[in-house]
Amino acid sequence: MPSHRLPGRHFFANPGPTNIPDSVLRAMDRNSLDFVEADFLEIFDAARAGLQRLLFTRHEIFFYAATGHGAWEATMVNLFSPGDAVLIIGGGYFSSAWAALSKSFGIEAELLEVDWRAGANLETLAALLAADSTHRIKAVCAVHNETSTSVVLPLADIRAILDNTGHPALFLADTISSLGCFEFRMDDWGVDAVVGGSQKGLMLPAGLAFTAAGPKALAAHRQARLPRFYFDWTAMLTRRFRSFTGTVPIVPFFGMVESLRLLEAEGLENVWARHHRLGAAVRAAVRAWGAGNQGPELYCTDPSRTSDSVTTILLPEGINADAFRKVLLDRYNVSTGGGLASLSGRVFRIGHMGDLNEAMVLGTLGAVELALKACAIPHANSGLAAAIESLT
């Protein structure tokens, strides 16, 4: 970090946490309030109802004072017993981490290894489920938007595979970097349990996470024997909030009511369209820089699975992506995401989710192009010009 303050706006283009709108910040500027007071109960109920609308569900939501990892842990310990087998669709750092977390609780988590640049082959998945004639697999777990690779999984198609093979496994989805950014429909897509967090499409600080659970998940919960206490859904269901064990953190709910108001005022379909427009502009820029296979390239190789909330960009062999990110930050005041796990130092990630517009994306892309020049990284054409063209 530079020791002096850089003049001008800090551009925050991380794939979560994301920029927090001013009105959400103002809404959270609250002193303490007893969480059983009517004023807070009204806010809590409004936030929960709004989140149900965002998830397109009528089902239960369990909130935790945690980040996404907490919601993963809560979901797994509430649904399974020691030795239960679950299939986690691999494809990046986050699906691997979900599998590792599950294994640490004695769940037999099988990670379906896939090409990280394209995501799971659905035929392989269908064959695996069809071969499981004893229904050993208790759940199929999918990361909707793999934030490390920017590959999106078609959840409705995965639901169809479960239905077509007549497999009774629960269907679990991680929507941490998709919810509020692009289409997700819990009930229509038959997702039994959904993991989500506050710090991406919901435009809130990190620290509030949740699981939405449908009737099949609640039935599985009643049989599940893994130890749990803070995260125990049975205990939560006895509370007024049907959530939390202990103190209810009130502040994020004031923020959530405002962030949901903003999303609904814009219109969810418009929010998705805006993310698509901005994501397409970033992809156009990367394609222009990398034309002729000489510069940066999109890490995701399947155009039907590119993410509208984040773009993972592979730099030419021999170039250290973290040194490049440091130039972006120290010289141009632009923060981007780094590569995770095996992608460390090879890629950088531009987050384009949440409270964002054309000018912010073009500002980031302009600074990236400046930094490509400053670092003498080969690139073919102006990505900035291509992004403007894409937005026109």
CB of 197 to ligand PLP, least distance (A): 5
Select the residue interacting with ligand PLP from 19, 78, 147, 149 (CB under 6 A): 147
Return d(Cα 30, Cα 39) in angstroms, integer. Answer: 12
CB of 100 to ligand PLP, least distance (A): 12
Place of tokens 């953190």: 249
For residues 6-25, which are near ligand PLP according to CB under 6 A?
Answer: 16
Helix 383-391 × helix 268-289 angle, to 10°: 150
Q: Do residues 281 and 368 touch, judged by C-beta distance below 8 A?
A: no
Nearest Cα residue to 372 out of 134, 343, 364: 364
Q: Do residues 13 and 366 touch, judged by C-beta distance below 8 A?
A: no
Return d(Cα 237, Cα 232) in angstroms, integer. Answer: 9
Select the residue interacting with ligand PLP from 87, 88, 143, 329 (CB under 6 A): 143
Q: Closer to ligand PLP at the Cβ: 296 or 351?
A: 351
Q: Closer to ligand PLP at the Cβ: 107 or 176?
A: 176
CB of 202 to ligand PLP, least distance (A): 12
Nearest Cα residue to 192 out of 174, 205, 206, 165: 174
Q: Do residues 316 and 345 touch, judged by C-beta distance below 8 A?
A: no
94 sits near ligand PLP (criterion: CB under 6 A): yes
Q: Closer to ligand PLP at the Cβ: 174 or 258?
A: 174
Q: Closer to ligand PLP at the Cβ: 25 or 206?
A: 206
CB of 174 to ligand PLP, least distance (A): 5
What token pair was written down for 20? 């927090």
CB of 18 to ligand PLP, least distance (A): 11
CB of 176 to ligand PLP, least distance (A): 4
CB of 93 to ligand PLP, least distance (A): 8
For residues 162-201, which are near ligand PLP according to CB under 6 A?
Answer: 174, 176-177, 197
Return d(Cα 194, Cα 313) in angstroms, integer. Answer: 28
CB of 136 to ligand PLP, least distance (A): 26
> What are the beta bridge partners of residue 108?
85
Q: Do residues 314 and 117 touch, judged by C-beta distance below 8 A?
A: no
Return d(Cα 271, Cα 256) in angstroms, integer. Answer: 16
For residue 220, give every residue at least 6 positions away whose Cβ sits within 8 Å of its Cβ, in sequence order, or none: 79, 80, 138, 170, 192
Q: What one-character-per-residue DSSP string does 22-87 give?
A: HHHHHHT------TTSHHHHHHHHHHHHHHHHHHT--SEEEEEES-HHHHHHHHHHHH--TT-EEE
Tell me which stretch binds ligand PLP (CB under 6 A): 33-41, 65-73, 240-248, 282-290: 65-73
CB of 228 to ligand PLP, least distance (A): 18
CB of 135 to ligand PLP, least distance (A): 27
Tell me which stretch binds ligand PLP (CB under 6 A): 27-35, 67-75, 162-170, 273-281: 67-75
Tell me which stretch binds ligand PLP (CB under 6 A): 5-13, 62-70, 114-122, 300-308: 62-70
For residues 195-234, which are near ligand PLP according to CB under 6 A?
Answer: 197, 206
How many of the other CB atoms lie within 10 Å of CB of 49? 12
Q: Closer to ligand PLP at the Cβ: 67 or 78?
A: 67
- Closest residue to ligand PLP, based on beta-carbon distance: 68
> What are the beta bridge partners of residue 202?
none
Q: Closer to ligand PLP at the Cβ: 165 or 175?
A: 175
For residues 245-284, which are near ligand PLP according to CB under 6 A?
Answer: none
Q: Closer to ligand PLP at the Cβ: 337 or 366?
A: 337
For residue 337, give every residue at least 6 positions away whose Cβ sits within 8 Å of its Cβ, in sequence order, or none: 13, 14, 15, 310, 348, 349, 350, 351
CB of 5 to ligand PLP, least distance (A): 28
Return d(Cα 362, Cα 349) in angstroms, integer. Answer: 15
Q: Closer to ligand PLP at the Cβ: 69 or 277?
A: 69
Q: Closer to ligand PLP at the Cβ: 147 or 311?
A: 147
List residues binding ligand PLP (CB under 6 A). 16, 67-69, 94, 143, 147, 174, 176-177, 197, 206
